[in-house]
């Protein structure tokens, strides 16, 4: 597992990628990095420092910190910054690195680049975070199609929030990609709850990080 890099990708925005990233990083004893952060008031890296054991040492600074809480391409325009993912300076670590993307698979990173382009460029295997809501089967399967079409390896799907057995069974059967963990809604988002969920899903994650679905 040393030096492995895993992208945490989402089927949509606001579905729990950051909490999933925290739980997965805790379970795998991994470091965390969010390359592009848009908005200064709710920085995901700052939250992760409080949620992970030894978070100050395991959470790395963003490659690009934008002032406005908007889509990165729009925030960069306001800040007068050109986003070039090919020049990002990556954290140096001998641990697994959890790389949190922003928004959904085809959300913009810049005027010409999506999150999928970023993952494809760096050849990152992905864990796809999904959630059960009306339309989420479509969003999940579309995201998987995009990842497969770009030959981005898929480690598996992590379900965030409430369970829907019918929807989840359909997604697994149709896509051939397994659900490898479930992270319930957390009433209290703190280090204790993250550590507890991480302990519950650790064995499954370790099993599936050695298998990918192209």
Q: Which residue ranges form the domains of the chain, and what is each CATH number?
A: 5-208 (3.40.50.300)
What are the beta bridge partners of residue 98?
6, 32
Examine the residue annotation and report whether 34 is marked as an active-site residue of this protein.
yes
* CA atoms of 6 and 81, how far apart (whole Å): 27
Q: Which of 17, 34, 95, 195 is catalytic?
A: 34
Residue 47, both tokens: 């939250």
* CA atoms of 29 and 24, how far apart (whole Å): 8
What are the beta bridge partners of residue 99?
7, 33
pLDDT one digit per residue (tens) for the chain, 214 residues = 347 999 999 999 999 999 999 999 999 999 999 999 988 888 899 999 999 999 999 999 999 999 998 889 999 999 999 999 999 999 999 999 999 999 999 999 999 999 999 999 999 999 999 999 999 999 999 999 999 999 999 999 999 999 999 999 999 999 999 999 999 999 899 999 999 999 999 998 998 887 676 5
């Amino acid at each position: 597992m040393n030096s492995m890099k895993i992208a945490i990708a989402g089927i949509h925005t606001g579905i729990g990628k950051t909490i999933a990233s925290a739980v997965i990083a805790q379970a795998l004893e991994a470091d965390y990095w969010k390359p592009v952060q848009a908005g200064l008031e709710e920085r995901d890296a700052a939250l992760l420092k409080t949620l992970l054991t030894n978070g100050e040492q395991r959470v790395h600074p963003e490659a690009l910190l934008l002032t406005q809480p908007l889509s990165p391409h729009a925030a960069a325009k306001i800040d007068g910054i050109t986003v070039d993912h090919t020049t990002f300076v990556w954290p140096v670590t001998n641990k697994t690195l959890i790389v949190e993307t922003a928004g959904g698979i085809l959300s913009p990173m810049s005027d010409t680049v999506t999150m999928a382009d970023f993952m494809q460029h760096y050849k990152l295997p992905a864990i796809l975070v999904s959630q059960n809501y009306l339309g989420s089967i479509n969003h999940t399967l579309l995201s998987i199609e995009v990842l497969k079409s770009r030959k981005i390896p898929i480690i598996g799907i992590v379900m965030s929030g409430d369970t829907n057995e019918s929807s989840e069974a359909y997604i697994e059967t149709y896509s051939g990609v397994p659900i490898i963990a479930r992270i319930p809604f957390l009433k209290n988002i703190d280090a204790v709850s993250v550590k507890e969920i991480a302990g519950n899903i650790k064995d499954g994650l370790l099993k599936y990080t050695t298998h990918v679905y192209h």
